[in-house]
Amino acid sequence: MSKMQEVSILLVEDDSGHARLIEKNLRRSNITNHIITVGDGQQALDYVFSEGEYTGTERASPLLVLLDLNLPVLDGYQVLDRMKADERSKRIPVIILTTTDDTREVSRCYNSGCNVYITKPVEYEEFADAIHKLGLFLTIVSAPNEE
């Protein structure tokens, strides 16, 4: 629990409504960690690698990424691939949180090195429940500190 306190969560979600709902539901699950929300894939990578508008800023460490797949500029697959291909970011846990439950896409994400794949339920009650459980899950997850 003590470690989780230090973990920052990068929420990559283009739908700001969704982002808010996710955040709200995580908070309701007693997740008090710092949550950084970005709206597209490029912003997510910029944050991870301290580039672009995040140049010069030290990104939070340890970090955990909640990644949607359908994103503008760079989509979730590209973000995942680049993160897992880069020495600096390959150990950062990535949780795919998306509406698609297509098995091919689930497989593809795991092949690309995602750590957890979660389908966003379309029913809000289920959605809220899933995010609540994710929050509970996150409380017991350890993220690697960077050397």
Partner 1 sequence: MKIGAKLTFAFGGVILLIGISAIVSMDGYRKIHEEFELLKEDIIPGAIVMSEMVGRTHQIAHDAMDYMIAKEEEEEEEEVLIITGLGFLEKAGREHLEHERHIGEEEEKTAQELLEKIGRFNSGVMGIISLKKQGASIDELIEKEEKEVHTAMDALTKQLEEHVAIHMEELAKAEESVHKAHVFATRIVLLTTCLIIALSAAVASLITRSIVSPLHALHKGTEIIGQGNLDYKLASNAKDEVGQLSRAFDRMVEDLKVTTTSVNNLNKEISARKQAEEVLQQSEKKLRTITRSALDAIIMMDGGGNIAYWNPAAQKMFGYSSDEIIGKDVHEALAPRKYHEAYKKGIEGFKKTGQGPAVGKVLELTALRKDGSEFPMEISVSSIMVKGSWWAVAIIRDITERKQAEEQIQRYAAELEQANEELKTFTYAVSHDLRAPLLNMKGFAAELRFALELIGPSMNAALPHLDEGQRQAVTKALEEDVPEALDFIDSSAIRMDRFINALLKLSRLGRRELKLEPIDMHALVQATLKTLAHQIEERQVKVTVGHLPEMVTDRISMEQIMGNILDNAVKYLDPGRPGEIEITAERGDDETTFRVRDNGRGISEEDIDKVFALFRRAGRQDIPGEGMGLLYVQTLVRRHGGRIWCESKLGVGTTFTFTISNYLEKGGENV
Q: Which residues bind partner 1 (CB under 8 A)?
A: 15, 17-18, 21, 24, 70, 99-100, 120, 122-125, 127-128
Q: How far is CA 64 from the centre of its chain?
A: 6
Of the chain, the end-to-end C-alpha distance in Å amounts to 21
Least distance to partner 1, CB of residue 7, Å: 25
Nearer to partner 1, 23 or 46 (CB): 23
Least distance to partner 1, CB of residue 47, Å: 22
Least distance to partner 1, CB of residue 45, Å: 21
Nearer to partner 1, 17 or 56 (CB): 17
- The alpha-helical segments, DSSP class H, found in the chain are 2-6, 16-28, 41-49, 76-85, 103-111, 124-139
Nearer to partner 1, 8 or 37 (CB): 37
Burial of 116 (0-12, 13-18, 19+ CB in 10 A): middle
C-alpha to C-alpha distance for 31 and 60, rounded to whole angstroms: 16
Residue 42: DSSP 8-state: H
Nearer to partner 1, 92 or 131 (CB): 131
Least distance to partner 1, CB of residue 107, Å: 17
10: number of Cβ within 10 Å: 22
